[in-house]
Structure 1
Amino acid sequence: MENFPPQSPSLKNNEFLHVASVSNTIGNKMLYAECLVIELSNPDLRENALHLLSKMTDLFRDLAPLLWNSIGTIAIFLQCVASHPDTKLSFMKANIPIYLYPFLNTSNKLAPFEDLRLASLGVIAAMVKVKTKEAIGFLLATEVMPLCLRNMEIGKELSKTVATFIVEKILSDDDGLAYICGTPDRFFAVGRALDRMLASVDNQPSPRLLKLMIPCYTSLTKNVGFFKPNPTPPS
């Protein structure tokens, strides 16, 4: 019993609960809990892993710090709530996404801040993955666009990609496009962010990023009727 089997731990419910209850080795419990936390990132194993972790609260006193300090674990839970049709609206009514905005507003490029940036963007991306008027309206009302444009410029490639994904989803919605094209400042702010990524010499956009940028440009060309530039004054 000193070593746990290499197979997926969440698929051995009864075996683990018996081992965990009789074992006095904290290291064994920690190792098993860490495996379950890793499985939370796998959609196929997440439900069972979460079920087992919920039964460890009395067996393993250090479970809470393990979950809290695991990169992206809390974000995974928030993404599940933000994306599910039965919880998305309540998630927005509670204004929970707003608590993530400070992480998107930082300009610090160190790895821990980049991890927070990416995790926060992932939650917002989960809200718009299956696009709804309520989600688009919430994000526009809470002014998420400037934060996304900021991260399109200062984030690493993955953060840029997720931020651009959010922008593309907003631009593909009629209300979102009308909002962006409602003033020249908003329209050109999006254009500048896209142009800077495209013109970057040190960090050429990846194919995945380019596939998101092209629809953004295409949507911006549909701005006729949303705003009209000031006519050139007669000479």
Structure 2
Amino acid sequence: MVSSAVAPATSNPPARVRYLIRGLASEETREQSLDVLCKNRLAYDNLAVLLWNSFGIMSVLLKIITSAYRPLLSDGLTENVVTQVCNAIALFQCVASHPDTRIPFIRAKMPVYLYPFLNTMSNERSYECLRITSLGVIGSLAKVEDPEVIEYLLSTQIFPSCLRCMEVGKTLSRTVSTFIIYRILLSEKGLEYCFVLAERYLSVSQCLGKLVENLSEDDAENLPQLLKNIIGCYLRLSENERTRPQLSSYVPWKLLDHKYANIVRSDPEALADLRQLVCNLRTSKSCTTHCTDDQPASSDSSGSSIP
């Protein structure tokens, strides 16, 4: 069974939580219990462990999630279906985030059931809600420095699915999917995975380039984090000296514009990464001098620089 007891169960969970979890098993109370658990998932200690160890509950969540597959393909998604599925996926994220259930979760290959939502090509509201909620689960896995998690992500279709989300999703989906790619690239195995196939490296480089070209300042809330993730990805790719000259042709000079430097200026780490990226991409000997200055600069085709 998917929900077999792998992680240690918490002792004496609050009666309210036990009641709501039992409510998931009944079709009469499922929708309300799902809604309340989702809205209060951060307030309930060890909810992930309780969900994972409660007999049949993960199967119930899977049933809710997979119920959207057919309407997903036939454009028959209703608001009620999307809400229930997103709530179930949010509880998946709760399980994926918890240190006691994270590894059992990936060993059971639970993220596989999210692929249909990651691979849709529509950015209509219903599809976007399913996409961003599913990305939240993968993002919760990716942000943890665990070799087994990275191994799992690299052994699945998560990487190409995230590249697809970077292309078709809206700003928030693009931000989270780029974060996942960045976290994968931070690991040596993830970086090696990217460079094993020329086509894969090319896909990542071109996808990042399209992201930069299509940056929209309309979403001021998510733009700084998206920029930081893009810069982080480029910086990791630029650490490969063999492909660095080729990468220079894929990084849009638009990224080095004062406008975007100003957007990330409040984040010292992002600004430092941008400056380091500029230095890595410069092939002239003067780069060494610039990189050691307090205010490194890089000129783009129009003569602007990163202050």
Structure 1: distance between partners of 2:215 and 2:155: 34
Q: Does structure 2 retain, via aligned residues, the 8 Å contact 1:148–1:164?
A: yes
Q: Match of 2:121?
A: 107
Q: Does structure 1 retain, via aligned residues, the 8 Å contact 2:92–2:137?
A: yes
Is 1:148 the equivalent of 2:162? Answer: yes
Deviates more, 1:199-208 or 1:214-223: 199-208
In the superposition, the TM-score normalised over structure 2's length comes to: 0.54
Q: Match of 1:215?
A: 232
1:178-229 Cα shifts (integer Å, max 9, x gaps): 0001121111111111110101165678111001111100000122469998
1:112-157 Cα shifts (integer Å, max 9, x gaps): 1111111111111111121211111111111211110110011011
Does the C-alpha gap of structure 1 residues 130 and 123 become closer, same or farther in structure 2, counting only changes over 3 Å?
same
1:12-49 Cα shifts (integer Å, max 9, x gaps): x89xx9xxxxxxxxxxx9xx9698346325x2x23499
Structure 2: distance between partners of 1:228 and 1:138: 31
2:143 to 129, 154, 170: 129
Q: Match of 1:185?
A: 199
| AA of the residue aligned to 2:167 | E
Deviates more, 1:181-190 or 1:153-162: 181-190
Does the C-alpha gap of structure 1 residues 197 and 67 become closer, same or farther in structure 2, counting only changes over 3 Å?
closer
Structure 2: distance between partners of 1:168 and 1:157: 16
* SS of residue paired to 1:46: coil
In the superposition, the TM-score normalised over structure 1's length comes to: 0.69
Structure 2: distance between partners of 1:200 and 1:158: 14
1:118 to 128, 132, 142: 132
**May I ask how many residue pairs the two structures share in their alignment?**
192
2:108 to 79, 91, 94: 94
Does the C-alpha gap of structure 1 residues 77 and 197 become closer, same or farther in structure 2, counting only changes over 3 Å?
same
Structure number with greater CO (CA < 8 Å, separation at least 6) is 1
Gaps of 5+ in 2: 1-14, 20-28, 51-63, 65-79, 247-307
2:44 to 43, 46, 57: 46
Structure 2: distance between partners of 1:106 and 1:220: 27
Q: CA RMSD in A?
A: 3.5
Structure 1: distance between partners of 2:180 and 2:172: 13
Q: Does structure 1 retain, via aligned residues, the 8 Å contact 2:154–2:190?
A: yes
Does the C-alpha gap of structure 1 residues 49 and 146 become closer, same or farther in structure 2, counting only changes over 3 Å?
closer
How far has the Cα of 1:86 moved from its partner? Answer: 1.7
| AA of the residue aligned to 1:223 | N
